[in-house]
Amino acid sequence: MSALTLKIALDLAGQALAIGREISAAPLTVAVLDSGGHLVALQREDGASLLRPQIAIGKAWGAIALGKGSRLLAQDAQQRPAFFAALNGLGQSNIVPAPGGVLIRDQAGKVLGAMGISGDVSDVDEQVAMKAVEASALKADAGMVA
């Protein structure tokens, strides 16, 4: 697979929402971006709060823009807050450095895009994103340090 198509993005978003329901997560919002950082799919469950789309996009955008999952971005932001404050004025979207944004890789490791999820606590958002990507026979890269 060489590109993240609309069909794949919609499948990923649907998978994430289904997983969220299975684990009784709070209402979720899922954003899927391609490798260029363009929004391909956005799904917001009934009951998700007002800023959830922007937060989900910001988690995914940060992962794509900086090349690592948003869990690592959160750690970086704690160490370099001024740098992260400056980043939010540079790109096409704000970066949200909190778990829940994962890179989407093909089986060879090539980055196809990113998924950002917001709605529950960040660890649950990330768990749902990881499971959704992996259920689609792709690799999720959350930036977890082994």
Whether the model clears a pTM of 0.75, i.e. scores above it, the answer is yes
Q: Give the strand pairing for 39-44 and 139-141.
A: unpaired
pLDDT tens-place string over residues 79-108: 999 988 888 778 667 899 999 999 999 999
CATH topology of domain 6-141: Beta-Lactamase (3.30.450)
Structural domain spans, the chain: 6-141
- pLDDT tens-place string over residues 41-50: 999 999 999 9
Judge whether residue 146 has pLDDT over 70. no
- 39-44 vs 29-34, strand pairing mode: antiparallel
Confidence of residue 144 (pLDDT cuts 50, 70, 90): low
